[in-house]
Structure 1
């Protein structure tokens, strides 16, 4: 279950990182509320995951999910460039996340 919590934490990290741009300096109430809700839920699920997953692994996977996901959201919704090199490194990040999962024993 800890790995599921970690994936949820990463998905909510994508949510708070992606919605941050929409807050316009925290002047727009609804995007700010989405940001706040996502950041709280991200840390709640990360905390739950840490009960069985080593902190170094959990943090690396959490930030990796957030980085890869937010970069993908940027390409899909914010018209950021989708160059071959960017896509290669997003894929490399995803491969590293999977590798950490495979290489990490749980308690």
Structure 2
């Protein structure tokens, strides 16, 4: 059971990372006008949703969904800064830090 649970969490983490993939490709698609990036966006979405569905088969939705969206949110912020040279204020960085703390806290207190 422990190995299955670990694999389920890996699915959830990868699903969250694919949130970052599809959101980054969506920006590159320029409003879905660049076909290769549009296709990559849709493929990333499908992979993310399929892995989230697999994860929620064993992880409560009340835990899986906020972790999934949190990974995607923090990852999108980092992708924006690193890939698209977006600027974050110190206050925004503080709130991103709180998101990370919250994601870890949800996992630690979930008991799974």
More deviation in 67-76 or 18-27? 18-27
TM-score, length-normalised on structure 2?
A: 0.89
Q: How many residues align?
A: 106
Confirm whether residue 86 of structure 1 aligns to residue 92 of structure 2: yes
Give structure 1 stretches of 5+ with no counterpart: none
TM-score, length-normalised on structure 1?
A: 0.93
Confirm whether residue 20 of structure 1 aligns to residue 5 of structure 2: no
Q: Distance in 2 between matches of 1:82 and 1:23?
A: 23
Aligned to 1:73: 79
* 1:86-105 matched pairs, under 5 angstroms: 86-105=92-111
Aligned to 2:65: 59
Aligned to 2:40: 34
What are the superposed Cα offsets for residues 32-87 of structure 1, whole Å, 9 maximum, x if unpaired?
Answer: 11101100000010001001110011110100001111011111122211322121
Give structure 2 stretches of 5+ with no counterpart: 1-6
Q: Distance in 1 between matches of 2:51 and 2:35?
A: 24
How well do the aligned residues superpose, as a CA RMSD in angstroms? 1.0
Moved over 3 A (4+): none
